[in-house]
């Protein structure tokens, strides 16, 4: 099957997070993410409608090959939701025919007739998954969710038919153990290994009832992951706080404008939606403490309200099934299985890293809370700092300590200018040129989506397309993420990349620039890093465009560093009204305050990562999620002023799929590499635009994708392994004593 190592490895999960494309990544900045943005009013979808007359098999809008310019593009303008189910069924049937032809070949198994034929298979289905991903992530509707609920277990069953095809696995195993393997190139050897592991680690070696049970577990998990995700989405859509003008004290005008737009026809009122980009600034600026508490509780109680959308029972069942499944494979716990093929290798290594940082983070939180309490007391407060006070008083401390106003910084962070800055960085490091594609020449799935052609600046050669879907809207899942509709490959003729970035920024009033926070600007750069990872690929085989989860966040986290380089600051951070560059003194304040509030940021992230790892290294036979979460945090001495970034009932990274399950630590693991690699640029003669270091960056850390072992790739770039020292320096924490 095409992209066997990514699709099979995600058998029970690829259908609930996004489009099953090679680099679909829910992403976050380091150590936080943009997990939920405000759902502002946006135009109605202009494409992908629900037509009244079902399409026949002959004219199914999703089954055709992609046509048009740039090597063919998705026909988003013709896609019809009622065609999705029959298209999936047709795509699965054809893919199984292709797999059976490989498995039943009379010829002795070889790399060409087995591994490469698998790489060629499933192309029709892969195109359909692109449309699935758009409806799932960008354009969800109740009608789609009904299809999703029905098809998720069927798709899981389909994947199991491939992983449990004994004849197919026998041929893969024969190539894996053959003398032919020894004579192959490194990329081919890695492709064979990843293909073999994709089967062996996912039940192919099981027999009889164990094999049947493994497949049944996957089907049930697919149902549960889908239900979990849709429950969170329901709570995000179902809880909106409407406030009056009198209740907006302290809120910036830019936020009030967006909140008024989100309120729609409710004139004179403002909508505080149940999303991070609405919650976060409200808690930062609102002078209304009772409303801050209400917004905080509503947001952090998503999936935990004891109603039809409560996720606690679902979590318990997911954990039990995961434990049962890995026991069939002979592992002691889920995390042991999950980390075996990642950079961390085992849960002990991941825990060692987290536990090395945790004490320093807690110590910093204690300092931060003391500073905030002093400000609160000076203002006549008669309460102790609570979680809904943390952002509010942190902002006051920021102003007092650094004379830095976050809203003042925001006036220089225009979304369009940031996009231009990202294009500049891509041109300097990757030699890429981004040119807007004329509206209407490439189909899009919503009027907000814009497309750029990516070419080589020197040769003019076409590299791919970059789609941007920047704004929040109902039906679009929270967060920021990247995906590829088509990955790079050359083994059967060159195929260029179709890459996509997706955000949830608050859409401004017509004609007004979209202003974002510094954290959101970092997230924008971060996600663009994932797109550059896809666009820079030079690998031959589709399956090598994937990646290892605790490594693939590294490239995107590293790209965040270019936001604060002088070339970007001097040319792209300009005031949205005057056009004047951001003042040097304000830049100095930003850099001086770079590690401000790092205790909060690191602690809320690490709490989630540690709880995730505890869930997946503990006997799951009798876990009550609410009790487990509270007990684990108590054992960790979690400060009472902070809540974990993603509470269990809405922790979509680990319970709406398995991409980050027992793997949320990966952001920190990747950030060790990020901090170390950033110092390589800082030490270079040309700084962050040093041509020699940039060339090694592209060659070993971006273009190679998964054709090299990540540890080998990093050593080729840096000349050594990374250490934790740079990470601790970056966060303003004490560097561990090695004596």
pLDDT in tens, 501-554: 999 988 877 888 999 999 899 999 999 999 999 999 999 999 999 888 889 899
pLDDT at 54: 40
Whether 69 is covered by a domain: the verdict is no
- Mean per-residue pLDDT, 330-345: 95
Q: Return the half-sphere exposure (C-beta side, CA atoms, 13 A cut-off) of residue 452.
A: 19
pLDDT at 506: 80
The residues that bridge with 434 in the sheet, in sequence order, are: 454
Q: Could you give the number of structural domains in the chain?
A: 1
Q: Please say whether the beta carbons of 276 and 313 come within 8 A.
A: no
- 284: Cβ–Cβ under 8 A, 6 or more apart, which residues? 391, 392, 394, 395, 406
- Mean per-residue pLDDT, 704-716: 95
Among the residue ranges 199-203, 297-301, 318-322, 360-364, the one predicted with the least confidence is: 199-203
Residue keyed to tokens 């489009």: 19
Would you say residue 490 has pLDDT above 80? yes
Whether 105 is covered by a domain: the verdict is no
Whether 134 is covered by a domain: the verdict is no
Q: Strand order of the sheet with strand 462-471? A: 25-27, 480-486, 497-505, 462-471, 450-456, 432-436
pLDDT at 276: 86
Whether 256 is covered by a domain: the verdict is yes
Higher per-residue confidence, 703 vs 19: 703
Higher per-residue confidence, 510 vs 208: 208
Strands 25-27 and 462-471: unpaired
CA quadruple 431, 437, 441, 442: dihedral sign: positive
Whole-number percent of the chain with pLDDT over 90: 83
Phi, then psi, of 678 in degrees rounded to 5: -60, -35
Q: Kindly give the residue spans of alpha helices, DSSP state H, lying in 311-403.
A: 312-328, 334-339, 347-378, 387-402
451 token code pair: 């497309």
Tell me which residues are annotated as active site: 527
What is the band of 13 on the pLDDT scale with cuts at 50, 70, 90? Answer: very low
Burial class of 207 by CB neighbour count within 10 A (0 to 12, 13 to 18, 19+)? exposed
207 token code pair: 């027999």
Q: What is the mean pLDDT of the chain?
A: 90
Strands 269-273 and 450-456: unpaired
Q: Please say whether the beta carbons of 206 and 216 come within 8 A.
A: no
pLDDT at 58: 61
Would you say residue 331 has pLDDT above 50? yes
What's the pLDDT tens digit per position in 38-75?
222 233 333 454 433 444 446 799 999 999 999 999 99
Whether 442 is covered by a domain: the verdict is no
The residues that bridge with 243 in the sheet, in sequence order, are: 270
- 377: Cβ–Cβ under 8 A, 6 or more apart, which residues? none
What is the band of 479 on the pLDDT scale with cuts at 50, 70, 90? Answer: confident
pLDDT at 162: 94
Whether 637 is covered by a domain: the verdict is no
Q: Please say whether the beta carbons of 557 and 30 come within 8 A.
A: yes
What's the pLDDT tens digit per position in 658-676?
989 999 999 999 999 999 9
What distance in Å separates the CA atoms of residue 607 and residue 611, rounded to the nearest whole number? 6
Residue keyed to tokens 């020894």: 182
Would you say residue 639 has pLDDT above 90? yes
Torsion on CA atoms 3, 195, 159, 10, rounded to nearest 10: -70
What distance in Å separates the CA atoms of residue 115 and residue 667, rounded to the nearest whole number? 32
- Mean per-residue pLDDT, 453-461: 97
Residue range of the domain that includes 278: 239-300
pLDDT at 93: 96
pLDDT at 49: 46
pLDDT at 43: 33
Of 706, 697, 674, 709, which Cα lies nearest the Cα of 487? 706
Would you say residue 473 has pLDDT above 70? yes
Torsion on CA atoms 177, 180, 181, 187, rounded to nearest 10: -150
pLDDT at 659: 86
Among the residue ranges 171-175, 251-255, 463-467, 685-689, the one predicted with the least confidence is: 251-255
What distance in Å separates the CA atoms of residue 17 and residue 168, rounded to the nearest whole number? 28
Of 106, 17, 176, 218, which Cα lies nearest the Cα of 653? 17
Phi, then psi, of 453 in degrees rounded to 5: -85, 140
312 token code pair: 């606690």
74 token code pair: 């998705």
424 token code pair: 């500049």
What distance in Å separates the CA atoms of residue 262 and residue 211, rounded to the nearest whole number? 50
> Which one-letter DSSP state was computed for residue 491?
B
What's the pLDDT tens digit per position in 342-386?
999 999 999 999 999 999 999 999 999 999 999 999 999 999 999
- 359: Cβ–Cβ under 8 A, 6 or more apart, which residues? none
- Mean per-residue pLDDT, 311-322: 98
pLDDT at 27: 35
pLDDT at 53: 40
508 token code pair: 């401004």
Whether 250 is covered by a domain: the verdict is yes
What's the pLDDT tens digit per position in 272-290?
999 888 899 999 999 999 9
pLDDT at 3: 46
pLDDT at 549: 86
pLDDT at 719: 96
What distance in Å separates the CA atoms of residue 92 and residue 159, rounded to the nearest whole number? 9
- CB contact burial 646-667 (16+ within 10 A = b; e otherwise): bbbbbbbbbbbbbbbbbbbbbb
156 token code pair: 């899981």
What is the band of 739 on the pLDDT scale with cuts at 50, 70, 90? Answer: low
Among the residue ranges 431-440, 508-517, 606-615, the one predicted with the least confidence is: 508-517
pLDDT at 89: 96
Whether 378 is covered by a domain: the verdict is no
The residues that bridge with 273 in the sheet, in sequence order, are: 240
């Amino acid at each position: 099957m095409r992209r066997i190592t990514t699709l099979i490895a995600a058998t029970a999960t690829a259908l609930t997070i996004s489009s099953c494309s090679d680099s679909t990544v829910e992403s976050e900045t380091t150590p936080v993410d943009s997990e939920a943005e405000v759902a502002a009013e946006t135009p109605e979808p202009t494409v992908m409608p629900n037509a009244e007359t079902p399409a026949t098999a002959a004219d199914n809008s999703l089954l055709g090959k992609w046509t048009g310019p740039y090597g063919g593009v998705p026909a988003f303008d013709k896609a019809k939701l009622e065609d999705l189910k029959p298209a999936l069924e047709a795509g699965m049937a054809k893919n199984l025919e292709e797999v059976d032809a490989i498995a039943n070949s009379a010829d002795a198994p070889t790399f060409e007739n087995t591994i490469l034929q698998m790489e060629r298979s499933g192309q029709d289905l892969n195109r359909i998954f692109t449309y699935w991903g758009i409806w799932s992530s960008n354009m969800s509707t109740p009608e789609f969710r009904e299809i999703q609920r029905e098809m998720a277990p069927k798709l899981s069953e389909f994947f199991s038919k491939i992983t449990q095809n004994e004849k197919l696995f026998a041929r893969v195993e024969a190539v894996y153990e053959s003398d032919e393997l020894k004579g192959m190139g490194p990329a081919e050897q890695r492709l064979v290994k990843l293909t073999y592991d994709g089967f062996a680690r996912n039940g192919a070696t099981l027999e009889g009832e164990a094999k049947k049970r493994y497949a049944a577990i996957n089907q049930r998990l697919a149902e549960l992951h889908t239900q979990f995700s849709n429950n969170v989405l329901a709570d995000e859509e179902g809880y909106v706080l409407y406030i009056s003008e009198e209740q907006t004290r302290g809120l910036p005008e830019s936020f009030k404008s967006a909140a008024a737009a989100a309120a729609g026809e409710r004139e004179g009122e403002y909508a505080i939606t149940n999303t991070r980009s609405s919650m976060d600034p409200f808690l930062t600026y609102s002078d209304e403490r009772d409303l801050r508490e209400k917004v905080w509780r509503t947001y952090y109680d998503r999936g935990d309200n004891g109603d039809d959308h409560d996720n606690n029972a679902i979590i318990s069942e997911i954990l039990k099934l995961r434990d049962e499944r890995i026991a069939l494979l002979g592992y002691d716990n889920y995390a042991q299985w999950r980390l075996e093929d990642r950079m961390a290798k085992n849960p002990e290594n991941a825990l060692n890293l987290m536990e090395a940082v945790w004490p320093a983070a807690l110590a910093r939180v204690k300092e931060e809370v003391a500073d905030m309490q002093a400000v609160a007391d000076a203002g006549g407060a008669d309460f102790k700092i609570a979680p809904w006070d943390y952002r509010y008083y942190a902002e006051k401390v920021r102003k007092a300590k650094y004379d830095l106003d976050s809203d003042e910084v925001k006036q220089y962070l225009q979304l369009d200018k940031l996009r231009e800055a990202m294009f500049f960085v891509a041109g300097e490091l990757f030699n890429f040129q981004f040119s807007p594609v004329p509206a209407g020449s490439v189909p899009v799935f919503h009027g907000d989506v814009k497309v750029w052609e990516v070419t080589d600046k020197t040769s003019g050669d076409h590299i791919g397309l970059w789609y941007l879907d920047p704004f929040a809207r109902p039906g679009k899942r929270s967060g920021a993420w990247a995906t590829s509709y088509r990955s790079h490959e050359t083994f059967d003729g060159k195929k260029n990349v179709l890459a996509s970035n997706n955000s949830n920024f608050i859409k401004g009033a017509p004609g007004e620039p979209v202003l974002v926070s510094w954290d959101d600007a970092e997230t924008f750069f971060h996600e663009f890093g994932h797109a550059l990872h896809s666009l820079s690929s030079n690998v031959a085989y589709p399956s090598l465009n994937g990646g290892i989860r605790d490594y693939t966040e590294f490239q995107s986290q590293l790209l965040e560093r270019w936001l604060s380089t002088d070339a970007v600051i001097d040319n792209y951070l300009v005031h949205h009204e005057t056009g004047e560059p951001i003042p040097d003194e304000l830049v100095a304040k930003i850099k001086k305050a770079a590690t401000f509030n790092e205790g909060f940021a690191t602690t809320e992230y690490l709490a989630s990562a540690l709880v995730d790892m505890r869930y997946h290294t503990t006997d799951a036979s009798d876990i009550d999620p609410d009790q487990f979460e509270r007990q684990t945090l108590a054992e960790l001495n979690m400060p009472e002023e902070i809540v974990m970034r993603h509470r269990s009932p809405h922790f979509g990274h680990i319970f709406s799929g398995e991409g980050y399950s027992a793997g949320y630590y990966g952001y920190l693991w990747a950030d060790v590499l990020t901090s170390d690699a950033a110092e390589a640029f800082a030490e270079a003669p040309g700084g962050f635009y040093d041509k020699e270091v940039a060339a090694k960056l592209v060659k070993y850390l971006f273009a190679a994708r998964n054709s090299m072992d990540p540890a080998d790739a990093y050593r080729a770039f840096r000349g050594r392994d990374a250490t934790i020292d740079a990470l601790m320096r970056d966060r303003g924490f004490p560097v561990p004593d090695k004596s």
